[in-house]
Amino acid sequence: MTATDSLLSPENATANINGLLFVASDVDPADEADFNRWYDREHVEERVRIPGFLSGARYFSLEGGRKYLGLYRTESLAVFRSAGYRAAFEKQTPWSVANLDRMRQPIRRVCAVQAVTGFGSGSHAVVLPLAAAADAQAPVAGAERAGRQLAAQAGFVQSYLLVPDAALSTPLPREATEGRVLQPMLVIETSSADAARAARATAAAALDADPATGWLLALGWKLSAAELR
């Protein structure tokens, strides 16, 4: 079996049907120092300690999108309906309340993770928004096809489709709700910025998306639940 065959094996494709919390925002320059301290010293660890959370990662935009992105993977979407998550979400610390209010143009989505190709964490990531489709399986099939193409490219680590859950994706305090569209997003992780740019172009062509809408981000740091327990 080749390395690419291993990436695309049915066992790998179905092994991680997880949930994922996607939170992106800008922040006024005057507030960035405290915002980053809060994220790094309290918020990521607090979330990853919730039962059912697997990891939390911070990304910083190099091209497009919001400046800051947090991705929190969970065992399943059911974690976001659990008592542990509700307690953390409903009883924010004073530091959290202050910094949630500092988010500008925030985006919060609770998503199912589908069409997984590959494994591991890359140093860079692409977030490619996709058009909503009447057929819910169409984006999944498209992401699977794109994953097969991406897996053959140098620097590819992993790709997966994020499908927002409308009931669970409640907005953040400063998030605009008028015209809010919960569109699917393809995330691609790579080992370099150049590989991410090449992957963005490939995925956009495969999925009939505009590559200019794809975010390019660098990984700041990542925490897994296994490191805490």
Q: What pLDDT digit, counting tens, does each position of 86-135 carry?
A: 999 888 999 999 999 999 999 999 999 999 999 999 999 999 999 988 88
List the structure tokens of 163: 């499908």
Residues of the chain with pLDDT > 90, as a percent, come to 84
At residue 54, does pLDDT exceed 80?
yes
* Residue pair 196/174 in contact by the 8 Å Cβ criterion: no
* Residue 98 burial (10 A CB sphere; 0-12, 13-18, 19+): middle
Residue 205: predicted pLDDT:
97
- Residues 123, 110: Cα–Cα separation, whole Å: 23
163, pLDDT greater than 90: yes
Angstrom distance (rounded) from CA 84 to CA 77: 13
Farthest CA pair distance, the chain: 53
User: Within 10 A of 181 (CB to CB), how many other CB atoms are there?
Assistant: 8
Q: Residue 193 belongs to what H/E stretch? A: helix 193-207
What pLDDT does residue 1 have? 32
How much helix, strand and coil, in percent to the nearest 5, is found in the chain?
Answer: 40, 30, 30
CA distance 176 to 108: 11
List, in sequence order, every residue forming a beta bridge with 163; answer none if it has no partner.
112
- Mean pLDDT score, 197-211: 97
Q: Into how many domains does the chain fold?
A: 1
pLDDT value at residue 5: 43
**CA 7 from centre of chain:** 20
What is the percent of the chain with per-residue pLDDT over 70, rounded to a whole number? 93
Measured between alpha carbons, how far apart are the two ends of the chain, in Å? 35
- pLDDT tens per residue across span 2-48: 343 444 443 344 344 799 999 999 999 999 999 999 999 999 999 99
Average pLDDT, the chain: 92
CATH of the domain at 61: 3.30.70.100
Note the pLDDT of residue 146.
98
Q: Which alpha helices (H) appear in 31-175, and where do they start and end?
A: 32-38, 44-48, 83-90, 94-100, 137-150
Window from 54-58, 137-141, 186-190, 201-205 with minimum mean pLDDT: 137-141
Question: What is residue 101's predicted lDDT score, i.e. its pLDDT?
Answer: 95
The boundaries of the domain holding residue 149 are 3-227
